[in-house]
Structure 1
């Protein structure tokens, strides 16, 4: 594929192309925001071995970059991205290539596997790579957000849904018509029992547990092995469609899985399993949830730069996992990185703005410019310092194993 000018083409919050240079610059800025851990640098043989499932986007990308830049982890990232072809590659394809280059430049030994994390074939490929090149795993971070999953045992494909439980739900949401933001009311019918079961099968703890079982069978878990699955609780303003909906049922299953795994790993390896409750952010997954766009825009309007980035949150998580800082959990065994978001004064301020938000008032109540720019930056656009009029090469190779 020859160099060409890549311009944004989108359908709502979904962009059909990604900009390689913008995606690279985004990862570089993430890396530069992370300071090395406050301890002597470790040699390659002493660096902890990590496995990040869902390493190319959102909080999974933040986990990968923070682990590499701060703690010098070695190991494997797993994600599913599309190669350049008739269109550009996916944004995660280019972010992964950039992460691999930064890791290599910093002397980190980290490989990336492109495949369906739900598939046993990919688990086997990763296990073989670990056994050949890295040895036993010290840390596993699980951050998978996918719309569907095929169960390897039954062959059944489950598709998740965004629906409330128990009854219909109506919420405000934010849509964009051209350059104009509009506040709309969206009604969603309640989930059936099958809807909930499918969503739990996709987004609950089943695949996380399967990864642990697979690595256990391959004798690839180190003594003291620690694993964290990333989750979200969120505001009462979004609870009807999120925490009290089908996704919430899946997150409850994820947290129950963490408790089971924690007991099991403690007995077998002196290890731990936790969920990490992260705070709101603009991600490719979150923009699909009704109400989240409006909520995050209003949250930014209240907090401005005091919002804590995913990279900063995951840096804090890595510090707790590695013992650089004390590992602190709530009564449910969850690491809470969302306390700044759920602070009562913050939530009261956001709730007042939510109540007052209309087409006319939302530009003053929410930071819409920031929100739109964040969405575009997910795909490598609107990144400072990038000349978007210049031709760029979209045919970037996947990092060699």
Structure 2
């Protein structure tokens, strides 16, 4: 077994290695932060509990959906992600280690959760999942959570490859953004992003819109695997007016609008076929590997934390609320567009006004006063298993952690 002392090496917010023990601690901390259900049956027969499929289960809100589903809703089923194994030169990706830790928690909770590693966009993965639902989980699926953020997608029908881009629509966008130097010292810069051109919007919608979500439903429905009352949710984000030009009004926003339109189409169809539901869930701001790649979002999130402090609602608590609504433990609360809103704490007039004032005033000289940069920097490091409380980073750690074995 390979053991190494790992130190963080990064290029901006992207880290070259991940720390297995730190990733395990992150998962354990999320598990502890997830509230237990209000009432738990004294004894639950083996092989019971709702059958769920979480697509994009190893990071961000998808990881929170998996952990909250296990603890809050008692799910069993399948979790799909796409991670890289360890090599002689590199550790595995952080999601690989988080998945191994999640599998141990599921096993300890007595839940049969299968973890599959592969391309969720492919028909081969859809076939493998459908076979498992049929053979292992009684041929019925109760819930599907779709949380995929990817840079590219290949259409299984045509073989066409699409690439998503993060660009404004119509004109260039100039925004403040937050960076850190090699010593972790924060700096506020202004960056300009060129507008979308050619088929940038169509390409981004093809990757990040609702096409693959609908394809999953088509495949599982075609196999007769959707249970009566089946519910599916795709995770989304709207965000602040401060970041709207590049996000919600940009190419990614066009993809999110397509995702929400797909939800309405699927909702009507599922209601007729299985008495089911399809919705999108609009989540609040969080530090994730996807969000740190968006100019302005890092600064905005740091300022938001500066305003809210501990009142900033983490993904695991948001997803506990989502599972309550999906399972009927709490009423399904939809906005006028038919979306579950888990971001209301972020978008109140008072919070956005306070963040906006700080955004206008923030500079490199004032950022440490106006934004919680220490928290943000630590959160980024924790995404890769570093800066996790209680982990000895001077000790060698085994890096060749195996992928969870679902044959046992």
Name the TM-score, length of structure 1 as normaliser.
0.99
Matched, 1:164 2:168: yes
The 3-state SS of whatever aligns with 2:235 is strand
Whole-angstrom CA distance in 2 between matches of 1:330 and 1:193: 34
My pick for the range that moved more, 45-54 or 312-321, is 45-54
Q: Which runs of structure 2 are paired with 1:330-349 in the superposition (5 Å)?
A: 330-349=335-354
Residues 362-393 of structure 1: CA deviation (Å, up to 9, x unaligned)? 11000000000000000000000000000110
Whole-angstrom CA distance in 1 between matches of 2:9 and 2:397: 16
Paired position in structure 2 for 1:197: 202
Whole-angstrom CA distance in 2 between matches of 1:223 and 1:193: 43
Paired position in structure 2 for 1:8: 8
Residues 213-266 of structure 1: CA deviation (Å, up to 9, x unaligned)? 010111110000000000000000000000000000000000000000000000
CA contact under 8 A between 2:35 and 2:317: conserved in structure 1? no
CA contact under 8 A between 2:35 and 2:320: conserved in structure 1? no
Paired position in structure 1 for 2:286: 281
Calculate the aligned-residue CA RMSD, in Å.
0.8
Paired position in structure 2 for 1:173: 177
Name the TM-score, length of structure 2 as normaliser.
0.97
Matched, 1:125 2:128: yes
Total equivalences in the alignment = 401
Paired position in structure 2 for 1:328: 333
1:130 to partner: Cα distance: 1.1
Paired position in structure 1 for 2:376: 371
The 3-state SS of whatever aligns with 1:371 is helix
The 3-state SS of whatever aligns with 1:340 is coil
Whole-angstrom CA distance in 1 between matches of 2:157 and 2:341: 34
Whole-angstrom CA distance in 1 between matches of 2:39 and 2:141: 21
CA contact under 8 A between 2:204 and 2:252: conserved in structure 1? yes
Paired position in structure 2 for 1:50: 52
My pick for the range that moved more, 108-117 or 175-184, is 175-184
1:193 to partner: Cα distance: 4.3
Matched, 1:38 2:38: yes
Paired position in structure 2 for 1:103: 106
CA contact under 8 A between 2:180 and 2:187: conserved in structure 1? yes
Residues 123-152 of structure 1: CA deviation (Å, up to 9, x unaligned)? 111111111101211000000011100111
Paired position in structure 2 for 1:63: 65
Paired position in structure 1 for 2:154: 150
The 3-state SS of whatever aligns with 2:345 is helix
Gaps of 5+ in 1: none
Whole-angstrom CA distance in 1 between matches of 2:48 and 2:40: 12
The 3-state SS of whatever aligns with 1:219 is coil
Residues 176-220 of structure 1: CA deviation (Å, up to 9, x unaligned)? 122221111111111024000000000000000000001011111
Gaps of 5+ in 2: none
Whole-angstrom CA distance in 2 between matches of 1:349 and 1:338: 16
Q: Which runs of structure 2 are paired with 1:24-35 in the superposition (5 Å)?
A: 24-35=24-35
Whole-angstrom CA distance in 2 between matches of 1:43 and 1:317: 25
CA contact under 8 A between 2:177 and 2:190: conserved in structure 1? yes
The 3-state SS of whatever aligns with 1:341 is coil
